[in-house]
C-alpha cells in the first residue's frame, strides 16, 4: 500500500524507467499519462489516474516503435539519419559496412550510457515533461542506431559470398605465382650467373629463358599485391 505522495512518485519513476529502458526493438510504444489534480499539481506516470477521481488525463508516447530502414528519394534512411551509399566494388562495400558497424555499436553504447546517467542525475525531475522528452530523445537515437546496425549486418550477409570470393581469389593468385616460379626453375634451371661479366652460350640461353617467364611473373606479383590489399580491406 502506498503511504505518501513521495513513495507514489518513486514507484511511478521506477515503473516508468523500466519501460523507457526496455528493449529498443519493442514493437509497442510505452505510454505515459499526464494529469492535473484539484490543487493544480501536474503528474506524469506510467499508470493512469484512478477512474473514479474525475481527473482529465492525456496520453504521452515515450519510446515508440522500432525504427526500420526506409527509402526517401534515392537514399536509404534510419529515422532522420541517412545511410551511406554502398560501393559497387565488393571489397570497398564490405570495408565501409564493417567500419560503420563498429562505430555504430560504440555510438549505441555511449548513447545508452549518457541516457542512463541523465536519468540518474535528473530522477527528481520526474514530474517535468522535459525529463520525459529528453529520455525520449535518447531512446530515438538508440533506435536509429539499432536500425543502422541491423541494416549493416543485413548488407554484410548479402556480401558474404563476395567476401569468400575475394579470399579465394587471393589464394588462387598466390598458388598460381608459386606454380609459375617452379615452372621457371624446371625450364630454365637455377640462376648461377650472378656477377658474371662475360657470358657464355649457356648463360645467354638461361637469361633468354628467364626473360620469357619474368614478364608473366611480374604481372602475377602485381595481381597478388592488389588482392592482398583487397583482403586487408575486408579483414575485420
Number of domains in the chain: 3
Q: 235: pLDDT confidence band, cut at 50, 70 and 90?
A: confident
The verdict on 166 and 154 lying in the same domain is no
Most confident region among 62-76, 83-97, 204-218 by mean pLDDT = 83-97
Strands 75-78 and 69-72, how do they pair? antiparallel
> Cα 197 to chain center, whole Å?
61
For residue 36, pLDDT over 50 is answered with yes
More confident residue, 198 or 85: 85
Q: What's the average model confidence in pLDDT over 23-29?
A: 37
Same domain, 198 and 149: no
Q: What are phi and psi of 60, to 5 degrees?
A: -130, 125
pLDDT at 8: 42
Residues 109, 144: one domain?
yes
CA distances from 10 to 7, 59, 136 (A): 5, 20, 19
Sequence-separated (6 or more) residues with CB below 8 Å from residue 105: 149
77 lies in the same domain as 35: no
How crowded is residue 14: how many other Cβ atoms within 10 Å of its Cβ?
12
Range of the domain at 28: 5-61
List, as one string, the DSSP characters of 44-63.
EESSPPPGGG---EEEEE-S
Strand-pairing partners, residue 75, are: 72
Mean pLDDT of 154-174: 96
pLDDT over threshold 50, residue 15: no
The SS3 call for residue 43 is strand
DSSP 163: H
Please indicate whether residue 195 or residue 114 has the higher confidence score (pLDDT).
114
Edge to edge, the sheet with strand 69-72 lists 69-72, 75-78, 81-82
**216 with 134, same domain?**
no
Residues 40-83: tens digit of each pLDDT? 666 655 567 766 555 655 555 555 678 999 999 989 999 999 99
Percentage of the residues of the chain whose pLDDT score is greater than 90 = 47
Pair 148, 165 in one domain: no
Report d(CA 218, CA 227) in Å as an integer: 14
Residue 155 and residue 176 in one domain: no
Amino acid at each position: 500500500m502506498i503511504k505518501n505522495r513521495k513513495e507514489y512518485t518513486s514507484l511511478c519513476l521506477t515503473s516508468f524507467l523500466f519501460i523507457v529502458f526496455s528493449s529498443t526493438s519493442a514493437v509497442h510504444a510505452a505510454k505515459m499519462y499526464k494529469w492535473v489534480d484539484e490543487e493544480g499539481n501536474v503528474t506524469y506516470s506510467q499508470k493512469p489516474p484512478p477512474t473514479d477521481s474525475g481527473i482529465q488525463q492525456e496520453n504521452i508516447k515515450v519510446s515508440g516503435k522500432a525504427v526500420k530502414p526506409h527509402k526517401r528519394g534515392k537514399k536509404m534512411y534510419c529515422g532522420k539519419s541517412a545511410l551511406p551509399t554502398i560501393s559497387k566494388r565488393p571489397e570497398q562495400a564490405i570495408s565501409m559496412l564493417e567500419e560503420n558497424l563498429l562505430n555504430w555499436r560504440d555510438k549505441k553504447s555511449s548513447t545508452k550510457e549518457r541516457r542512463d546517467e541523465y536519468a540518474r542525475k535528473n530522477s527528481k525531475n520526474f514530474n517535468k515533461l522535459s525529463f520525459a522528452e529528453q529520455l525520449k530523445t535518447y531512446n530515438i537515437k538508440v533506435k536509429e542506431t539499432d536500425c543502422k546496425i541491423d541494416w549493416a549486418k543485413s548488407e554484410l550477409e548479402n556480401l558474404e559470398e563476395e567476401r569468400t570470393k575475394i579470399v579465394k581469389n587471393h589464394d588462387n593468385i598466390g598458388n598460381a605465382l608459386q606454380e609459375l616460379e617452379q615452372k621457371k626453375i624446371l625450364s630454365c634451371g637455377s640462376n648461377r650467373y650472378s656477377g658474371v661479366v662475360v657470358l657464355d652460350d649457356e648463360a645467354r640461353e638461361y637469361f633468354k629463358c628467364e626473360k620469357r617467364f619474368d614478364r608473366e611473373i611480374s604481372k602475377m606479383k602485381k595481381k597478388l599485391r592488389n588482392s592482398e590489399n583487397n583482403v586487408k580491406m575486408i579483414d575485420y
